[in-house]
């Protein structure tokens, strides 16, 4: 049976949110939390200052759903959940700080494609390393057993 509820006003909802924040307890005080966050147009990076005063930055182009976003939208970063996450309301993008520090800049599919592209880049240093490895006999042969060899 459906209950008839009167919708909360914005003011009442804001009061409830503030009360919940006051009453909440931090599950793990050692978990990284953002003190501040900003988009730097000059470098194209999101810069995050953590509560322990460490700094962390990542290029926008490496993050799913931030690539190609207008700078004005990228600058509208919100720190949510007592610093546990970053949110871009108009872009509908949400990242946890711990996830960003672990290098999770998107879904598994996004990360797999990002790694594939990064691995396919040819450089002079990469070509030299491949030639040196080839002179040593290339990759070691696998023994045929799962989890062994190359």
Task: Say which CATH number the domain at 43 has.
Answer: 3.30.2020.40
Asked if 80 and 131 sit in the same domain, the reply is: no
Cβ count near 59 (within 10 Å): 13
Beta bridge partners of 57: 47
Average pLDDT per block of 10 residues along the chain, 150 residues long? 70 80 63 94 96 93 91 96 91 92 72 62 73 74 55
Cβ–Cβ < 8 Å for 100, 33? no
Given this model, what pLDDT does residue 150 score?
Answer: 47
Q: Distance between CA 18 and CA 41 in Å, rounded? A: 33
Supply the range of the domain harboring residue 69. 31-105
Asked if 61 and 37 sit in the same domain, the reply is: yes
Asked if 40 and 89 sit in the same domain, the reply is: yes
Cβ–Cβ < 8 Å for 68, 31? no
């Amino acid at each position: 049976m459906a209950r008839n509820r009167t919708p909360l006003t914005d003011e009442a909802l804001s009061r409830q949110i503030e009360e919940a924040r006051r009453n909440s307890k931090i599950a793990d005080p050692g978990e990284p939390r953002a003190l501040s966050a900003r988009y730097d147009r000059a470098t194209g990076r999101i810069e995050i200052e953590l509560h322990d005063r460490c700094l962390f930055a990542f290029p926008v182009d490496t993050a799913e759903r931030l690539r190609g976003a207008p700078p004005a939208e990228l600058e509208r970063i919100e720190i949510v959940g007592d610093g546990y996450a970053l949110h871009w309301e108009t872009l509908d993008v949400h990242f946890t700080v711990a996830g960003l520090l672990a290098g999770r800049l998107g879904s598994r599919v996004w990360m797999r494609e990002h790694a594939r592209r990064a691995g396919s880049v040819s450089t002079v240093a990469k070509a030299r390393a491949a030639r040196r490895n080839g002179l040593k006999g290339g990759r070691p042969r696998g023994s045929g057993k799962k989890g062994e060899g190359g």
